[in-house]
Structures are given as structure tokens and as C-alpha cells.
Structure 1
Amino acid sequence: MTKRRTFAGLALAASTALAGLPAQAQDITLRLSHFLPPVHGIHTDFIEPWAADLEECSDGQVSVEIFPGGTQLGNVARQQEQVLAGVVDIAHGLHGIPRGRFPRTSVIDIPFLTEDAGVASRTLWELFPEHLQEEYNGLKVLALHAHNGGLIHTADTPVTTMEDMEGLRIRTPSPAVSAMLEELGAEPVGLPPGQVYENLQKGVIDGTVFPWDPVNSFKLSEVLNYHLDAGVYTVSFFFVMNQNTYDGLPEDVQACVDSLSGDALVARFGDWWDDWDAPGLAAAQEKGSKITELSDEERERWREALQPMIDAYLDSLEAEGVDNAREIYQAAQDHVAELSAE
């Protein structure tokens, strides 16, 4: 079954369940923004089909206008504020940019917690009701998700050990990953994904942390030559709707939104991310770039070296007012262990 048919099946089931409700002849246009290019799988496999199936499920009441990265509403740093302000009705964004807005959710970014997108995404969704919900006031949370274990990609300097990281300027996506890079001896540089190519090309940064997918979607294989498959961290994302927008929708449209979101949507990110990563790996292989996997011995060195950083990061969250930071971290570890064993 294709991805498109799976979404369509959810929409059809919702439409059938709602067939007995009175028709509500309304024309509703929802504005949806995200920060990734239109060639990215998040746009082609997730956002566009989700929007189309909402239109179908609502029997044409709803149309969705999409603003991807590169448009006036596609700035990665503004996704949360745009949807809260009602500038857009729905947004997909990166939790770590701008820094500090989702400290509880950032626990999923802690090194060595998980390297699987499916497990990380489902863990976030399990954590949400009890531990994370207060960070999303004013928002109807449609999904939380994360990517597969990230790599360390560099332009001119191969990295295979901790010592190789010393002094490298590495683009970072979140506070937890910044702390990890600093502990490993690198200099973290905060940049939106769309600015990485130019800064690598100009030598402003020496490398970046990403999963494989941006190597293709942002054409980074052109400016990267070395890839360390470290898999020691992940980064998380939100897919949210303005709560007032949701509350103002007819009940049948709300039911369509619900049927296409939540558990059913979150469960799809594992397979999706495997698909999105494949072209990035292929691009690096086709170029002939050097791809190295972090050895088991080196991984244990990193794990030991990063434990003080993990403790310090949890201390910093507590200092910021997340009194139960260690409880959230333990709950995340428990969910990861349980889901990984399935």
C-alpha cells in the first residue's frame, strides 16, 4: 500500500463515519507553513497528502494553502509564533529554533537516548499528555516526531574519533546538540538548515550535524566529503494547529483533522524517515565521499565522555524551571526501551 493510499484510507474511514452528520456548506481555507524545500519528503509525502486528504475528508469544505521553505511564511524561526498569532493556521517546525521555547520536549535530543525515528517519534507522543503538554498552550498538537540518528558531516576534515572534533565549527540544530558538540571539543554554530550550504561553501563552518535526508534535499553532497555515521542524537519537530482555529471548525471537519493526526500520523514517521534518508546516502555514495561508522569502542568513549554533559543539561533544564527534568528523561528512557523491544 502506498503512502498516498494510506492517508486516503484514513480520510475515507472518517468520511464514512461522518456520513450521518448534517451537511455544513462552508468554504474554509487553512494556511499551512513549514520550513523545508518543496522537494523534501516532509512536503511531498506528508504535508501535501495530509492537506489533500483533509480536503477530501471534509467533502470539499476545506482547502489548504501551503507555504514551504523559501516563501514569505517559510522561515524556520517563525513557525511557532506564526501559528500562535494566527498568521497561519497550521505549522510544521523545528523545536530547537529559536532556542529555549520547548525545554521539556528537548529531552528527546539528549545524546544516546535513541537513534530510530519511529521509536523517537512514538516516545515523544507517549510523553506528550503527562510531561510536555504545557509547552503547547494555544496550540492543537497534531503530531510530534523526530529524525533517525544523526551523522557528523564535514567538508575537508574526516572525523572518526572524539579528538578529530577539536576546534571544528559545526552547525547545530538545538541546545542539547550544542552542548554535545562543545563537550566533544567542537564549536557549535547555530544556523537554519537552508543556510548550511552557503556557509560550508564559504568556509564559515567546517561541517554540520544532520540525518542523511538533507544531504540530498539541500544538495549538501556538493560541499561535503566526509560523513561519520555516529547515530548519537536526534532532533524533534512539531506539527500544530492554532487552537482557536481548531475550535472554530465545524465538528465534522474537526473529526477529519483528528482522524488524520495523532497516533495514526505519528506511527508513520519511522518508515517515512528511512525513505527520506535513502537519497541522501545515495548522493554521498555516488559522489564517492568517505562514509565511516563510529566504532563500538569509540562509541563507548563518547558515551562516557558525554555523561557529564547530560547531567549538566538536565541541571540547566531544572534551573530554567523544568523541575521534573530528570523524571521526563527517565520516562523517555523507559519508553525508548519498551518501544525498541517491540
Structure 2
Amino acid sequence: MHLKEYAACAAAISMFATAGFAQEVTLRFQHFVSPASANPTYFMQPWADAIEEQSNGRIKVELYPFMQLGGSAPNQFDLIRDGAIDGGWVIPAYQPNRFPEAEALELPFMTSKSGEEASAAAWDYTQTYLMDDFADVHVIAAHMHGPGIVHKRGPAIETLEDFEGLKLRGPSRPATMLLEALGATPIGMPVPQFPEALSKGVVDGGVITWEMSPSLKLDELTDSHTDVAGDQALYNLYFIWAMNKDVYEGMPDDLRAIIDANSGMMASMWAGRAHDTGDAVGRDLMAAAGNEIATLSEAETARIAAVGAEVTQAWIAEMNDKGFDGAALVAAAQAAVADNLMQ
């Protein structure tokens, strides 16, 4: 080998070794809400910061709100699977009937009002029933939000009959099934569309969490906010925080271990806790705006829960028709919730 050729080869090897040692990885994660809302503030950004710190800067996680990298909230799973983005936040319910077993956790009065508890249950349930559904991505966390609240223009809901004729936004099939059974006209839509639908009168209100209320300007767009009595949520919503499988598997072992250390049950509970923190802030902001904050009586809550039980039975029948054991899925979701109640 000539001296010049040897020098060039040595330089190339040196550059490769240096690059191999640094192994710097940039991961682009996308979501569809304001960066000021609870999950990005109290989970996504701290999670990204933890990954960077624990990797000594060798992994950088860039967060893109409002679907800035393209696509829409309903097709987020496919964007991650196909490698259009490295990772992101997915609501499986935004693609109705694609992930039917996940709906068990979203049924009326299934979870407690603690997002952290519900998220621990979600992780357990996911390990048994949903990993096959999500085999095309790498699941980092599976979580739930806090209690779903009815937000509407005009006075607060006081009785079951007050739902009659209201056009209400719902985020999932179980939620819209419940709204319809209560006498409302349900309109399914992703959260980014909700404020415009309210402002244009397409809907009279909708169901969503306290924590999302400020970023959606529900203090201005609605007048009242109604929760049910008791410890169980009117409804809940299931999420996954996931990344592209090839990107995850292509990372060096030591960097992949850092992702793993910030995954699973701890990350799921962390994400749920973020919603709990945001719920307290959101509720206070709605009250400070002068909006009506209401809780249904125990008697009316019991009437609504009875309707919810009918919805659950209808869901079980639907699942049976699709070849699933609907009652077993409900029982499994209930068991996961019961096993993760914090004393």
C-alpha cells in the first residue's frame, strides 16, 4: 500500500472509530397538542431530558407539537411504523375498530379518577392483550389520562335528561357509544378539531379532561364543566408512547438500554401522573375564569352509571361478534384496574 493510500485509510478508520464511539442519535418524536398542555410539560419533555442526560448527550430527543412533521393525529401510529417519524404519541381510538381490545379500558366507569393508577392498569393490560396489535412499533409506555369531564356552552349538566339533544364531541368509540346512550348526539373527532368545532357551533360541547381545557381555551369557548360523583371516571382514553421499531433495534446496546430504563411501568405511571398534575391546574384555571364547576349528585351519577353498564354489555356483544371474548376482556381490564389501586 502506498503511503498516501495508507494515510487515507488510517484517517477513514479514525473517523469511523470516533463516530462509532460518539454514537450520537437524534430522535424526532411528534404529538398533536400544545407543548404547554400537561403530557408534553410533565412527561414528554422531562422524559426527553432524562434520555439526553442519562446518555451524556449521545441521544437527543426532539419534540414536535401540533403534528409539525406532517400527517394527522389519527394516522400517527402509521407514521411511526413507516419511519416518517422516529416516535410519538398515539391514541389508538382515533382509528376505530383497528385496535378493538384497547377499548375495554375506555368503557364507562372502568377506571379510577387517578391517571397514574389507570396508567399502571393500562401497562399491565397492554402486556397481556395488546402487544401483538402493536408489534409493528416499539411501545415505550401505555397510559390513560385522568377523568373525562363534560364541558359545554350554557349551564352545567344536572340530570341524565340534560344530555338529550346535545351535540357533544367524543374521542373514542366507547365514549361516543355512552354519549348516544345518554341521549346526546355524539360527534367523534380528534382533539385538535375540538376548539374550532365549538367556535363554529358544530358541537355544543364535548368530553375531555381538565388538563386539556386551558390549551383548548375552554374557559372562553364553554361555560360549564361537569364531573360525575365518586371515584370512578365517566370515561377514559388509552394512549401509547412509541417509537419506530427499526430505529429502536438499530441503536447501540448501551443507548437502547437507556430507552429501556425509561420505559414500561415507570414511564406509563409517569405519563398518567402528568395528567393528574395538569388536571389540578386546568380545573383551577376554569374556576378562576368564572366558569361553572359542577359535580353530579350521587343519585344522577348512579343513573348514568347504569346506562354505562348497558353500553358495556353492548360492547361485549359486539366483541363476541368479532370473535373476541368480550366478557373476558372487560374482566381483565377490571382486574388490572383493581390490582393497581394505590392505598
The residue number in structure 2 matching 1:236 is: 238
Asked if 1:42 corresponds to 2:39, the answer is yes
The residue number in structure 1 matching 2:213 is: 215
Query: Aligned partners of 1:300 and 1:40: how far apart in 2?
Result: 32
CA-CA distance at 1:64 after TM superposition: 2.1
Query: Aligned partners of 1:250 and 1:24: how far apart in 2?
Result: 10
The residue number in structure 2 matching 1:154 is: 152
- 1:76 pairs with 73, 76, 82, which one? 73
Please, what is the CA RMSD of the aligned residues? 1.6
Q: Does the Cα contact within 8 Å between 2:145 and 2:238 map onto a contact in 1?
A: yes
CA-CA distance at 1:183 after TM superposition: 0.4
Question: What CA deviation, in whole Å up to 9, does each residue of 1:99-141 have, x standing for no partner?
Answer: 2222111111100111321221111111122222111011111
Partner of 2:251, secondary structure, is coil
CA-CA distance at 1:44 after TM superposition: 2.1
State the one-letter code of the partner of 1:310: T
The residue number in structure 1 matching 2:8 is: none
Specify every segment of 5 or more residues in structure 1 that has no aligned partner in the other structure, as ranges: 1-22
Q: How high is the TM-score relative to the length of structure 2?
A: 0.88
Q: Does the Cα contact within 8 Å between 2:195 and 2:221 map onto a contact in 1?
A: yes
5 Å matches for 1:76-225?
Answer: 76-114=73-111, 115-225=113-223
Superposition misfits of 4+ residues, deviation over 4 angstroms? none
CA-CA distance at 1:74 after TM superposition: 6.7
The residue number in structure 1 matching 2:334 is: 333
CA-CA distance at 1:35 after TM superposition: 1.0
Aligned-pair identity (%): 32
Query: Aligned partners of 2:218 and 2:67: how far apart in 1?
Result: 17
Question: What CA deviation, in whole Å up to 9, does each residue of 1:140-187 have, x standing for no partner?
Answer: 110011111111111125311110001100001000001000100011
Count how many residue pairs are aligned between Structure 1 and Structure 2: 319
Query: Aligned partners of 1:269 and 1:64: how far apart in 2?
Result: 17
CA-CA distance at 1:270 after TM superposition: 4.2
CA-CA distance at 1:58 after TM superposition: 2.1
CA-CA distance at 1:261 after TM superposition: 1.3
Query: Aligned partners of 2:139 and 2:342: how far apart in 1?
Result: 27
Query: Aligned partners of 2:82 and 2:333: how far apart in 1?
Result: 31
Q: Does the Cα contact within 8 Å between 2:116 and 2:276 map onto a contact in 1?
A: no
Asked if 1:66 corresponds to 2:67, the answer is no
Question: What CA deviation, in whole Å up to 9, does each residue of 1:248-303 have, x standing for no partner?
Answer: 11000110000111122122234322210122212221121111101111111112
Q: How high is the TM-score relative to the length of structure 1?
A: 0.89
Q: Does the Cα contact within 8 Å between 2:157 and 2:296 map onto a contact in 1?
A: no
Q: Does the Cα contact within 8 Å between 2:147 and 2:234 map onto a contact in 1?
A: yes
Partner of 2:266, secondary structure, is helix
Query: Aligned partners of 2:155 and 2:184: how far apart in 1?
Result: 12
- 2:280 pairs with 248, 263, 278, which one? 278
Specify every segment of 5 or more residues in structure 2 that has no aligned partner in the other structure, as ranges: 1-19
State the one-letter code of the partner of 1:101: R
The residue number in structure 1 matching 2:317 is: 315
Partner of 2:133, secondary structure, is helix
Partner of 2:340, secondary structure, is helix
Partner of 2:56, secondary structure, is coil
